[in-house]
Amino acid sequence: MAVSDEQIAFVRDLFRELSAISTRKMFGGLGIYSEGVIFAIIGPEETLLIKARGQLAEDLAAEGCEQWSYDGKSGKPSVMPYWSLPDAALDDPDEACAWARRSLAECA
């Protein structure tokens, strides 16, 4: 998977309310940063995923969001601290930025 210019433009538009948004292509995906702190990625299957642990992860799970996991080399699942966003947030920059601010507060 290669991240397209359109996907990068979408991410920049979705998170436009956050300060100093930057992106970096990596491992076939995209790291998404605010003021140099990674808070989201475009990962496998071109899914936008937000970094979350603790209460934020619980709140995302309650919204029906899914945590990223993959089968490791040993065949055992590896779980990553990244979650899908609620569908409504993908169409609403205000909601997307509210989730992102919570992620950034947790990452700080």
Look at residue 104 and give its three-state secondary structure. Answer: helix
Residue 23 near residue 11, CB atoms below 8 Å:
yes
Residue 21 has pLDDT above 90, yes or no: yes
pLDDT band at 1 (very low <50, low <70, confident <90, very high): low
Q: What is the pLDDT of residues 28-38, one digit of tens each?
A: 899 999 999 99
Q: What is the pLDDT of residues 47-102, one digit of tens each?
A: 999 999 999 999 999 999 999 998 888 888 889 999 999 999 999 999 999 999 99
Residue 108 has pLDDT above 90, yes or no: no
User: pTM of the predicted model, to two decimals?
Assistant: 0.91
39: amino acid identity, one letter: F
Which CATH superfamily is 5-107 part of? YgaC/TfoX-N like chaperone (3.30.1460.30)
What are the angstrom distances between the C-alpha of 58 and each of 40, 61, 105? Answer: 17, 5, 16
Look at residue 15 and give its three-state secondary structure. Answer: coil
Strands 48-51 and 29-34: unpaired
Look at residue 6 and give its three-state secondary structure. Answer: helix
